[in-house]
Amino acid sequence: MYDAMPDEAFPVPAVDVSKVDPRFWRSEVANTTNEPPGTLVVDTDAKYLYFTQADGSAVRYGIGVGREGFSWSGRAKVQYKRKWPRWTPPDEMVARQPELEPYSIANGGMDPGLTNPLSARALYIFQDGRDTLYRLHGTHQEWSIGRAVSSGCIRLLNQDVADLYERVPNGTPIVVLPSSAPAAAA
């Protein structure tokens, strides 16, 4: 399941599973989400993404989520998806991290590849016809699965996002559950 993917445009190495808690390995579980088949459900607190299936099960993936202050929740849909996408940080991110300017929209973004933050695949989340700027995407950073480390996007191991990419059509509904963690004091 986490073997190398040598036939990719950018060969993906095998996952070092010693860096991923086994509870975050892809598995088939009972669908306890109360969402209909064909829905993606992101449980930000548990660090799981579920894809619900018609037989009452769900494929569960371990994920990395947005760190405090960088999360999003709500109902939306996967507008479209891309293999080996370019990455362009939002203007707000460039303002916070000026070193990202070379990858801005004005400069054409970052070329595809393993070190591109979107990595092997990206699913683009839209709400009410508008881009949320949040993505489901791959990562080569195994250690980040099960943690709140991103700038808001949901990251999966490259092998898992490739599996999800094949299962999920454009237009798939997604529910991102809000974190139950208390908000930080201002």
Q: What is the CATH number of the domain that holds 81?
A: 2.40.440.10
How many structural domains is the chain composed of? 1
Q: Helix, strand, or coil here: 93?
A: helix
Q: Is residue 169 part of a domain?
A: yes
For the chain, 186 residues long, give each residue's pLDDT as a single digit of tens: 999 999 999 999 999 999 999 999 999 999 999 999 999 999 999 999 999 999 999 999 999 997 765 577 899 999 999 999 999 988 888 898 899 999 998 999 999 999 999 999 999 999 999 999 899 999 999 999 999 887 778 999 999 999 999 999 999 999 999 888 654 433
pLDDT of residue 25: 98
Q: Is residue 42 part of a domain?
A: yes
Q: Is residue 100 part of a domain?
A: yes
Decide: 147 and 155 in contact? Cβ < 8 Å: no
Q: Is residue 11 part of a domain?
A: no
| Domain coverage including residue 122 | 17-177
Instruction: Find the angle CA(102)-CA(107)-CA(113) to the nearest 5 degrees.
Output: 70
pLDDT of residue 180: 80
pLDDT of residue 35: 98
pLDDT of residue 133: 87
Q: Is residue 10 part of a domain?
A: no
Q: Is residue 21 part of a domain?
A: yes
Alpha-carbon separation of residue 79 from 29, 122, 163 (angstroms): 26, 11, 18
